[in-house]
């Protein structure tokens, strides 16, 4: 009589279902905005929780909804912890920079001393951003349930942040050419350490498969940036001459009247080039991932990804994020429509995972990183 427990479940092109409604979700969002406003921003942790509950709760697999069990209080406490840690570190570098200025023998020496504080400060922010992003993943996964079984993100935020930091430096040194390796190495660490209950995800990618789409995006991006530099370089030089004061109107470079046009072009050309690569990466990541006997597939294309991005950007921009839920719904529907699961899994063999961290997000809440698309 317990049909599902009788044997392995076989999935063929199984889709995730997303049933979020624009009106309902926007209603929740508007209340969130108002409460965030009247509580001087404090409600935003509860707002984020309500938002996630809605999205998770309207995403289903095999007829059962996902569940987000996190609370606003957990996010708030995580934020306070991050504030203490980061505030202390930030204070050290900020005040250190000022003390260097105040105690240096002269201005020239101060100019050498301040980067000794500001550069490690920047590096620390970069490092903590990734540390926080991974901790936030751990928290979110531990609060994500399906059929009473939670996900678990194992792995260490320190290892993740180290990889991200080194990878970022490699990207800078190679003018961005290292990026496909960087992105896939991070996804590999996330997915290889991800579990649904006791069942582990596996990820085996081949960065070489992404070379062609990446180079195309890189060449288009580089050509655009060089073109912009050639067009606006002289004007920038003029502005630099007066910095930090504005250029007097008589000498104001007229080419800057083209700036809005260039920004508009940038909003089309760069994302379009990037979307082609992003879609290739999404497809590759899905195809490289498995969960027990289950395989994943993604059918996203660059053009559709670009349309999703453009639509979401316009919706959020023109409604001052009032209709952000509509953008989130569009992203989730895109996700549901383009991903499919195949293969066999015996659910009885899956056990419960460990409970996960007690408070949430920490640094990610601090830097306002969010898992929700849109």
Partner 1 sequence: MQGNGIYFDGAAPVPRQANLAVDGAALSITDAAGAIIARWDLGDIDLVDHRPATLTLARRGGEARVKVTDPELAAGLIVALRAGLRRRAWGGAIRWVGAGASLVAALGLFLVFAWPSAADLLAQFLPESWLDRLGQVTASAVAGQRPHCTDPRAFALLDGLAGRIAEASGRPKPEITVVRQPVANAFAMPANRIVFFSGLIAEAQHPNEIAGVLAHEIGHLERRHPSRQLVRQGGLFLLVEMFTGGSSLGAFGASAVSTGYSRAFEREADDFARATLAQAGLDARPVAGFFGRMAAKEKAREKDSILPFGLGGSLDYLSTHPNSAQRAAAFAEAPPGRAALTAAEFAALKGICGTQ
For the segment 50-69, give every residue that binds partner 1 (CB under 8 A).
57, 64-65, 67, 69
Find all residues with CB under 8 Å of 238, minimum gap 6, and list them: 247, 251, 253
- Joined tokens for residue 186: 């991070």
Give residue 304's Cα distance to chain centre: 19
Select the residue interacting with partner 1 from 73, 202, 212, 358 (CB under 8 A). 73
Q: Could you tell me the smallest distance in angstroms from the CB atom of residue 141 to partner 1?
A: 15
Select the residue interacting with partner 1 from 7, 122, 212, 226 (CB under 8 A). 122
Select the residue interacting with partner 1 from 11, 32, 93, 334 (CB under 8 A). 93
Q: Could you tell me the smallest distance in angstroms from the CB atom of residue 35 to partner 1?
A: 8
Q: What span, in angstroms and rounded, lies between the C-alpha atoms of 228 and 233?
A: 8
Select the residue interacting with partner 1 from 21, 30, 112, 251 (CB under 8 A). 251
**Is residue 184 classed exposed, middle or buried when 0-12, 13-18 and 19+ CB atoms within 10 A define those classes?**
buried
Q: What kind and span of H or E run contains 202?
A: strand 199-203
Q: Could you tell me the smallest distance in angstroms from the CB atom of residue 265 to partner 1?
A: 16
Select the residue interacting with partner 1 from 118, 162, 238, 301 (CB under 8 A). 118
Q: How many residues does the chain have?
A: 374
Tell which positions 138-157 bind partner 1, by CB under 8 A. 145-150
For partner 1, the closer of residues 72 and 221 by Cβ is: 72
Name beta bridge partners: 18.
Answer: 59
* Window of 21-29, 157-165, 247-255, 308-316 that interacts with partner 1 by CB under 8 A: 247-255
Tell which positions 329-348 bind partner 1, by CB under 8 A. 347-348
Q: Are 278 and 302 in contact (CB under 8 A)?
A: yes
Cα distances (angstroms) measured from residue 156 to each of 83, 161, 303, 363: 21, 9, 36, 15
Annotate each residue in 260-279 with x if it binds partner 1 (CB under 8 A) or - if it does not, as one string: x-------------------
Indicate whether 248 belongs to the interface with partner 1 (CB under 8 A): yes
Tell which positions 9-28 bind partner 1, by CB under 8 A. none
Q: Could you tell me the smallest distance in angstroms from the CB atom of residue 246 to partner 1?
A: 5
Sign of CA dihedral 39, 371, 69, 23: positive
For partner 1, the closer of residues 49 and 278 by Cβ is: 49
Indicate whether 101 belongs to the interface with partner 1 (CB under 8 A): yes
Find all residues with CB under 8 Å of 30, minimum gap 6, and list them: 322
| 251 phi-psi bin (left φ>0, alpha ψ -120 to 50, beta other) | alpha
């Amino acid at each position: 009589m317990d049909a599902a427990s009788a044997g392995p479940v076989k999935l063929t092109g199984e889709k995730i279902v997303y049933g979020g409604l624009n009106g309902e979700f926007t209603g929740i969002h508007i209340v969130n905005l108002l409460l965030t406003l009247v509580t001087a921003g404090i409600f935003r942790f509860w707002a984020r929780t309500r938002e996630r509950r809605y999205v998770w709760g309207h995403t289903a697999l095999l007829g059962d909804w996902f569940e987000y069990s996190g609370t606003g209080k957990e996010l708030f406490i995580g934020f306070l912890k991050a504030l203490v840690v980061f505030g202390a570190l930030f204070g050290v570098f900020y005040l250190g920079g000022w003390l260097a200025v105040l105690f240096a023998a002269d201005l020239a020496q101060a100019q050498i001393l301040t980067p000794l504080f500001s550069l490690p400060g920047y590096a620390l922010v970069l490092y903590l951003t990734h540390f926080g992003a991974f901790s936030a993943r751990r928290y979110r996964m531990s609060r994500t349930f399906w059929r009473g079984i939670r996900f678990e993100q194992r792995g260490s935020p320190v290892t993740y942040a180290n990889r991200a930091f080194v990878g970022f430096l490699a990207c800078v040194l190679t003018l961005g050419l290292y990026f496909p390796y960087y992105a896939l190495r991070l996804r590999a660490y996330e997915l290889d350490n991800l579990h649904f209950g006791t069942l582990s995800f596996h990820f085996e990618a081949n960065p070489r498969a992404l070379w062609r789409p990446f180079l195309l995006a890189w060449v288009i991006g580089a050509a655009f940036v060089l073109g912009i530099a050639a067009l606006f370089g002289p004007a920038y030089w003029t502005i630099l001459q007066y910095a930090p004061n504005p250029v007097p109107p008589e000498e104001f470079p007229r080419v800057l009247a083209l700036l809005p046009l260039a920004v508009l072009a940038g909003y089309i050309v760069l994302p379009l080039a990037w979307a082609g690569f992003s879609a290739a990466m999404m497809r590759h990541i899905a195809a490289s991932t498995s969960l027990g006997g289950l395989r994943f597939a993604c059918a996203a294309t660059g053009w559709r990804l670009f349309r999703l991005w453009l639509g979401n950007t316009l919706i959020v921009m023109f409604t001052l994020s009032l209709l952000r839920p509509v953008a989130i719904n569009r992203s989730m529907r895109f996700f549901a429509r383009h991903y499919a699961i195949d293969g066999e899994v015996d659910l009885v063999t899956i056990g419960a995972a460990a409970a996960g961290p007690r408070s949430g997000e920490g640094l990610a809440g601090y830097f306002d990183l969010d898992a929700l698309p849109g």
